[in-house]
Homo-oligomer: A and B are copies of this chain.
Amino acid sequence: MDPRIIAINERVKSIRNVIAVVSGKGGVGKSIISTIMALQLSRMGYKVGLLDTDFTSPSTHIILNAEELTPKEDRGVIPPEIHGLKYMTITYYTKNNPTPLRGIDVSNALIEILSITRWGDLDYLIIDAPPGISDIILDLLRINWRIKFIVVATPSKLALETVRKLIKLLEEQGGDIIGIIVNMVMGIVTTEYRGLGKRVLVEIPFQQDLEDKIGDVEELLESMIGRKVEEALKLIVEESP
What is the interface of chain A, defined by CB distance below 8 A to chain B? 24-28, 31, 56-57, 59, 62-63, 96-107, 130-135, 137-138, 154-158, 161-162, 164-166, 168-169, 172-173, 186, 188, 208, 211, 214-215
Contact = CB atoms under 8 A, between A and B. Distances in A.
Contact of A98 (B28, B156, B157, B165): B165
Contact of A169 (B100, B107, B162): B100
Give the oligomeric copy count. Answer: 2
Given A208-B186, A214-B158, A135 B102 contact: yes
B26 A56 contact: no
A61 B44 CA distance: 44
Given A27-B27, A57-B165, A104-B104, 14 more contacts: A26-B27, A26-B28, A31-B158, A56-B134, A57-B132, A59-B162, A62-B158, A96-B164, A98-B172, A100-B138, A102-B138, A103-B135, A131-B131, A186-B208
